[in-house]
Amino acid sequence: MTTSAVRLTSLAHGGGCGCKLAPSVLQDLLGGQRLTGPFERLLVGTETGDDAAVWDLDGDTCIIATTDFFMPMVDDPDHFGRIAATNAISDVYAMGGTPIMALAILGMPLGKVDTATVRAILQGGTAICAEAGIPVAGGHSIDSPEPIYGLAVIGTVRKSAIRRNSDARPGDALVLTKALGVGVYSAAFKKDALSSDGYEELIASTTLLNKIGARLAQEEAVHAITDVTGFGILGHSLEMARGSQATLTIDSSKLPLLAHARALVRQGFVTGASHRNWESYGDAVVLPADCEDWQRHLLTDPQTSGGLLVACAPEAADRLVAEIIDAGYPFARRIGRVEAGAPQVRIEGADAPETAIEPVVIFPGQGPRAVESYPAESHGAESDRAPFARPAASPVATQQAFVPPASALPDPAEADLALRAALATLQRMTAKG
């Protein structure tokens, strides 16, 4: 990890997608705005809070346009650039499209950040764009009191492949492609409480491009896609529920979490955005009666460069999860379902005790080693009842994987997912050399 002369996070009052406006504030600001149209070729606009705008060019080919930028959540300028670029490009993939070019958005306090740091931020973003196969074709920069960086991204998509957040159907299964806990890790990082293992896990997750979205959009069984970012899994599920006029039910025991997320959130590492999120949409969420605050914080935790939430035909869900894992997303899990009913999110899940497994992590070039553990809060040990149980065979991150004893695997299907995740991890490590 490289740091600049001054900590980038010290120059900003927020960081990552956690500095987004609260959902209620955004709705209030946009409530009186009206298009001057109608624009018949504008297929996706602001109506359902979707990930990007989509314009029909010729009845078949469509243009996707999106922009995303934020303040730093880490101090390494290269990592900041990579995270911001990955997050911005994700919106194109979430619509089912393929990015074709990007424009950089840069604001820096020039008297506080040196030239080398700014160059490293830009280089990090350019590196991710190269991984996505697109150029940074220009941009705009200003002298800003706080550092910001991001991209405006243009993509293309066939009209038949557009996947909105408003097309989920009753009976659909819900699939999530990345683990939750990025906001918790970010809060711990700012307090110098995130281990080196945790930091590596954070970077691996937030710099993993959501390329799988374009592939999923080719599946007739996939009906709706959105990416999970600043509003947390609850907020973006609620957007899908409202857009689709349906109830989304999430099984909390199936939610994949970053390795230390539960321990850290129980120690109080929570972002301000998590509180604002709940205040904005909590009245449209049904939680279990015994849900504790720390459990709710994981549901409202803002995800910077998070995964994709996919609504698909239930008979295709297990196959898609396996294919997503094979494609390099080892945390992919089936997490719930879509039901007919009021547009809301309902959380369910039986008590799920933590499986007694020593997590072992594989780091490139270093071999396996045990993950550093975090002590639980005084009010309860990590082995206490936990509705958010990390699946026994869940991998830790893109380049990290649990290796549990065979006896801990609950069934052959879970064992198959674990094997696929391990193979995907090793293939990715080998490809990066």
Residues 180 and 156: beta-carbon distance below 8 Å: no
The torsion defined by the Cα of 139, 144, 147 and 150, in degrees rounded to 10, comes to -20
Going from the C-alpha of 264 to that of each of 14, 24, 105, the distances in angstroms are: 19, 27, 33
Run of H or E residues at 201: helix 196-206
In whole angstroms, give the CA distance from residue 210 to residue 177. 9
- The answer to whether the Cα torsion of 263, 240, 236, 330 is positive or negative is positive
- The answer to whether the Cα torsion of 246, 251, 256, 257 is positive or negative is positive
The string of DSSP codes covering 234-278 is: HHHHHHHHHHHTSEEEEEGGG--B-TTHHHHHHTT---HHHHHHH
Annotated active-site residue 17? The verdict is yes
CB contact set of 333 (below 8 Å; sequence gap of 6+): 175, 176, 254, 255, 256, 321, 391, 394
DSSP class of 380: -
Show the CA angle centred on residue 334, arms to residues 233 and 84, nearest 5°: 40
Report the helix count and the strand count for the chain, using DSSP H and E: 12, 15
Residues with catalytic roles: 17
